[in-house]
Structure 1
Amino acid sequence: MFSIIYPYRNRDIQRVKNSLESLEKQTSKNFEVYFVNYGSDKIYTKQVEDLLVKYSSVKYSYLYTEQQPWNKSKAINSVLKSLESGYFFVADIDMIFHLNFIKKALKLLRNNEAYYFQVGFLSEEESRTTKNFKDYTIKFKSNEKATGLTLCSVESAKAIGGFDEFYHFWGSEDTDFHIRLKNAGGHVNFYNKEVLMLHQWHETYRNKEVKTLSKSLQVSGIVQFNHFYLKKAAQEKRTVINNENFGKTQSKKDYEKLVEHKKNNIKLISNKQVEIDYFLFKELPCLEPGLHTFKIYEAVEKSLKSVIKRKLKKSNTKYYSLKTINDKLLFHIINFYSNYHYNYSISEDLKSIRLVINKL
C-alpha cells in the first residue's frame, strides 16, 4: 500500500482544501491518506474536522499536544509505526499536487530507494487564486537542498527508527532522515525531471519568530540549534535513533490529568536568576514521581530600599526576563523531558509561564 501522511497544525483551512482537492483529482487512486492533527488550537481543529467529513476516505487522528511545541517527526512517526509494509510519502499541507503525481510516484517505488521532489513555489498573490495545475505561474523552483516531501519504504524507515523526534519547532528533520538512510546503505534521489507539486505561499517560521515572549510557543535560535544538531548527526554517522516508543504521544486521559492538576497544587517560582537556575538544574531533575505544576512569574522587589538600590545599580538580586526563562525552560524540555507527559503554556497577559509535568 502507498500511504500519504499529512502532519498538520494551525494552518488555514483553504490551503488544506486546495491540497486535498488535488489528491481527489489524481488519475491513480491506489493510495491512502493519513491526516495527523498535532494539537491544533480548537478553532483550527473544528474547521479541519468539519472539512474532512467531505473526504471520508481520509484517516484522521488528533494528538493531544496542544500545549507542547510542534514536532513534525512525532506527527509522522505516529502513523509510520502503525504501517506494517509498503511505502509512504510525507506530504505538506501547502502542496497542490499534479494530477499524475500518484501515478508517477508509484513507478519510483523501490525498497532501498528514497525520493524527494522539486517543488514550484507560488507567490502570495498567485496562491490566492484557484486554477488548473498547469495554469499556475511558478515564482521559483526548489533545489536539492530542500529535502522535505520524502517518498520511502516503510521497512527502510522503521529500520532506522523513523524520523528523529529530537527536532522541535522547525528545521532539519527531513535532511537528518536522508542522512541516516544513506548511512544505513540506502539511496536518496532528488526528482527534478518535472514539477509535480506547487507550494502555496506562507510566511516562514524565521519571519514569524519574535524576540519577546508571546502566546505562540517559540525558542530564540532554535533553527540554528537544529542545524548544529544535524551537523553532529552527519559527523557521527548516525543511523538508528529514538526508542521502541517512537511516535507515541500522551493520550486524551493523560492530557486531561494535566489540565485538572493545573488548577491546584501550584508551586510558585519567581524570575530571580538564582530561583530559576535552581529549578532547572536541581529541582526538575530530582522530581518525585507524580504530577507537578509550576508557575513562574515576574517578581520585582518594591520596597523603597530595593528601588533605590536598583536605580543606583547596587542591588545584588538579578532577574531573568520571562522570554529568557521561556527559552531556557523549553530547551530543557526538548533535551531532557520531551517523552514525559506535560503541558506548557504562557498566560494571556504574558506575565507568567505554567508547566504541568507528570514524572512517571
Structure 2
Amino acid sequence: KENGKRKKPKFWRPISCPVCPAGRHDDAIELRAPKHADTAVNRTAGRKRAIPPRFTKKSKLKLSEYLKNMATPEIEAQLAPLRIAVKEYGDLVRELKANGAPKIDIDKAVVELKARKKKLEETEVALAPKEASFDRLKLEDLLKRRFFYDQSFSIYGGVTGLYDFGPMGCALKANMIQEWRKHFILEEGMLEVDCTSLTPEPVLKASGHVDRFADWMVKDLKTGECFRADHLIKNAAEKIMSDKKADEATKHALQDVLARLEGFDDKDMHEVITKFNFKSPSTGNDLTPPIAFNLMFPTQIGPTGDFKAYLRPETAQGIFVNFKRLLEFNQASFIEFL
C-alpha cells in the first residue's frame, strides 16, 4: 500500500475473463483468473445474468445412441416397434432396387421410409431425458460471444449465409485443414490442387450447370416473398397428410406427388399448386407460377463486361479440368484425388 491505497505492481495487467460481460477485470492484481459462482455480475449494468452451462461429453453424444445405451425398459418398449418399422421399409427399399422395380414404386417406398424415420426421431426427442438434450441456441450464442464466428456485415444488418471467422474460428479452421491434409495427402498419397473460384461460362455450359443448376421459385403476389416451390409443396402436402380430417383420396394423391416431386419441372409444380390450392405459408396469399432461379453467382471478366463467368458452384470442377495435367504429373494410367 502507498498512502493508504493499494498500489498496482509493475507487472500488473488486466485479466481477461471469457465469462464476465465486460470481458476483463481491471481491479485484479494477481495473474490468475477470477472464480465465478453460478451467476456473473455485470458491473456496468448492476444486473445478474445466468452463466450458460458447460457442455459435457454426455451432451455431445447423439440422441439415438444415448437412448440405445441408456434407455429404460419402458422407453425401449415404445421405441422398439418404431425401429422395426424403419428397418422393415429400409429392407423393402433395398429389395426394390435390387430387383429393378419401377422408379415410382421405389420413390413411394422412400417417402414412407423417411416418414417412419421422422416419427422415430420425434419420439426419441420426446422421450429423451434432460441430460441427453443439446441446446443448439446456447452453443451458437457462446460461439458468437467468443467470436469463433459471426454474421458478416452484421453492423449493417448482415446477409443470410455469409459469416466471418474470428481468431478462434480461424485457428479451428486451420486445425481442421491440417488434419485433412495429414490424412488424405500424407497418409493416403492423394494429389492436392488449389484452383481459382472464377469459372468461365463455356466450362459451366459444357457441364450443364448454366442450363440446369437452378431452383424453381414462387413468389407471394402481394408481398413478393420468395419460396422454393418443391419445399413449399412438400411442407404443405405433409401438413395436409397429418390432418386427421383430410379425406383419404387427397392423402393418397399427395403421397403420389411427394414420390415424384424430385422429377417435376415448372409446369408440374404449377399444376400441383393450382390443383391443391397451395398458398403462401407466411400470409396465405396467392402465388406466382414457378420461375427458375440460377444458383450460381454471375460476374464479368475484363473491362468490357462481355466475357461472362461464374463463381464455381462445386469445388470438384477444378480437378476435372486439370485431369490431364494431374495424370502427366503422376506418370500413371490412373490417379486418385480428393
Q: TM-score range by the shorter chain?
A: under 0.3
Higher strand proportion: 1
**Normalising to structure 1: TM-score of the pair?**
0.23
Q: Give the structure, 1 or 2, with the largest relative contact order (CA under 8 Å, sep 6 or more).
A: 1
